[in-house]
Amino acid sequence: MIQIDVNSGPLIAWLMEQGLQGAPQQDLLQGYCQRLVAAGVPLWRFTVAQRAFHPKFGGLGFWWTREEGIRHEHYEYRESPREEWLRSPFFYILEQDLEEYRERLEGGAPERFPLLGELHGRGATDYFAAGVRFAPPEAGPNNPLSPHEGMLASWSTDRKGGFSSRELDLIRTTLPHLGLALKSSSNRQMASDLLQVYLGRDAGRRVLSGEIQRGSSQQIDAVICLFDLKGFTQLSERLPGSELIDMLNGYFGLAVESVQSHGGNILKFMGDGMLAMFNLGSIEEDAHAALAAANELCGKVRSFNAAREAEGLPTASYTLALHAGDILYGNIGAENRLDFTVIGQTVNQTARIADMHRSVGQSFIISEVVKNAAEGTGHDLVSLGRYMLRGVAEPIELYTIYGKNCVAACAGEQ
């Protein structure tokens, strides 16, 4: 029977406060460990493992030690589980559907758990592990290879004699409250991660902060970037679906990396195209960043295509258009399906400029607005002439950037 420790009240109250505030996971766990120690628990090492709802990472782990404090690690998705995980006490708890597991280590550690042997070698005398399940009972038993949402935690000490019954009761009493606080923190982090992945960094932040009303928008000056792969329709007719997706992700990965590394935001993907925006504070900053990103992307695509050709894989070239001006940025759509995006004349004109690539014989085209704002960047901007664009009343002068790498990558030459 668990004995309620007098020290559990303040710790529980603190955990509930942190949960209500949505404290960051690392701050929450750091504070929890410090308060356990202050309550007399001889904690030497503490760990937490959770599932991660993220397109790239399947799990998240936190470690706290008396010497180093808190740290964390993300675990990428794998086709087969790591051997370290399969031979861990956490996996054993899930596999055997246990509520908790304890191993006294002063006399040695069981061979089936290499981790416990390592902890014993470092001076650990006692190991205690338990979990908190966030899923409802009707979700059924846990599959250790794909567990329900929840957390697994372990506590280790290096004190002679290990943990006392009172200390373990304090841990057990406060564990559900730790789980609830961590769930609150994790849910907010999960929402932030997914919104940024699916909406873009800036749009995700705005939605999470409450900008969710249909029709809410603001007018801003920004540089719009429209990236589009050339010849992808023809490739899609002769490549298997999996190869096509891998190829598309490869090019999009380069484009996203270049845009984001220079402060831009990805707004949406449209088939084999991508719409992005640079809004760094002034139109000059936006233009400088957009040109730097475009120039970087040229070199990356050139190297990427060379590597694919060396492997006998198909390659693609691309078009890229930059234009700047006023845009409306906000929530557009129906009551039950909204999109946080950009609309306006500037966006439409960017699409018209991109369509000019055949007429001007260039795949990288920028407007005179961007060119004028980008003075002093050091890029060799060459005029392509003045043109009347469809739906635009006044002629507009178009430019391209000259550079061996950029010309070759855009044109698909090697």
pLDDT tens by residue, 359-375? 898 989 999 999 999 88
pLDDT, mean of residues 197-220? 66
CB 344 within 8 A of CB 296: no
> What is the pLDDT confidence band of residue 186, given thresholds at 50, 70 and 90?
confident
**How far, in Å, are 78, 104, 128, 253 from residue 159 at the CA level?**
37, 11, 14, 50
CB 146 within 8 A of CB 80: no
The pLDDT of residue 406 is above 60? no
pLDDT, mean of residues 142-149? 66
pLDDT, mean of residues 150-172? 95
Per the DSSP assignment, residues forming a β-bridge with 150 are 133
Count other Cβ atoms within 10 Å, centred on residue 334: 8
Pairing verdict, β 364-367 and 317-334:
parallel
pLDDT, mean of residues 397-409? 69
Q: Where are the beta strands (DSSP E) in 19-135?
A: 45-51, 57-65, 69-76, 100-104, 126-133
The pLDDT of residue 412 is above 70? no
13 Rama class: left (phi>0) / alpha (psi -120 to 50) / beta: alpha
Match 């908190």 to its residue by tokens: 132
Helix orientation angle between 25-38 and 165-199, rounded to the nearest 10 degrees: 170
> What is the pLDDT confidence band of residue 165, given thresholds at 50, 70 and 90?
very high
Question: What is the C-alpha to C-alpha distance for residues 213 and 337, in angstroms, rounded to an integer?
Answer: 11
Per the prediction, the chain carries an average pLDDT of 85
Question: What is the C-alpha to C-alpha distance for residues 67 and 70, in angstroms, rounded to an integer?
Answer: 10
The pLDDT of residue 216 is above 90? no
- CA of residue 200 relative to chain centroid, distance: 10
Q: What is the pTM of this model?
A: 0.68
> What is the pLDDT confidence band of residue 2, given thresholds at 50, 70 and 90?
very low
The pLDDT of residue 144 is 64
CB 242 within 8 A of CB 249: no
The pLDDT of residue 414 is 33
> What is the pLDDT confidence band of residue 206, given thresholds at 50, 70 and 90?
low
The pLDDT of residue 339 is above 80? no
Match 């060459």 to its residue by tokens: 382
**How far, in Å, are 71, 260, 274, 284 from residue 367 at the CA level?**
47, 21, 18, 14
Question: What is the C-alpha to C-alpha distance for residues 322 and 22, in angstroms, rounded to an integer?
Answer: 40
The pLDDT of residue 267 is above 70? yes
Question: What is the C-alpha to C-alpha distance for residues 166 and 178, in angstroms, rounded to an integer?
Answer: 18
Question: What is the C-alpha to C-alpha distance for residues 164 and 186, in angstroms, rounded to an integer?
Answer: 31
Task: For the chain, give the percent of residues with pLDDT over 90.
Answer: 51
pLDDT, mean of residues 18-26? 89
The pLDDT of residue 405 is 46
CB 193 within 8 A of CB 54: yes
CB 144 within 8 A of CB 91: yes
Question: What is the C-alpha to C-alpha distance for residues 29 and 50, in angstroms, rounded to an integer?
Answer: 13
Determine which of 61-70, 236-245, 278-287 has the lowest per-residue pLDDT on average: 236-245
**By three-state DSSP, how is residue 374 classified?**
coil
> What is the pLDDT confidence band of residue 408, given thresholds at 50, 70 and 90?
very low
> Which backbone phi and psi does 303 adopt, to 5 degrees?
-65, -40
Task: For the chain, give the percent of residues with pLDDT over 70.
Answer: 82
CB 385 within 8 A of CB 360: yes
> Can you give the C-alpha Rg of the chain in angstroms?
28
The pLDDT of residue 145 is 63
pLDDT tens by residue, 89-142? 999 998 898 999 999 999 898 889 999 999 999 999 999 999 988 766 665 666
The pLDDT of residue 175 is 95
pLDDT tens by residue, 45-72? 999 988 766 556 557 789 999 999 999 8
> What is the pLDDT confidence band of residue 236, given thresholds at 50, 70 and 90?
confident
CA angle 80, 312, 316 (to 5 degrees): 95
The pLDDT of residue 344 is 87
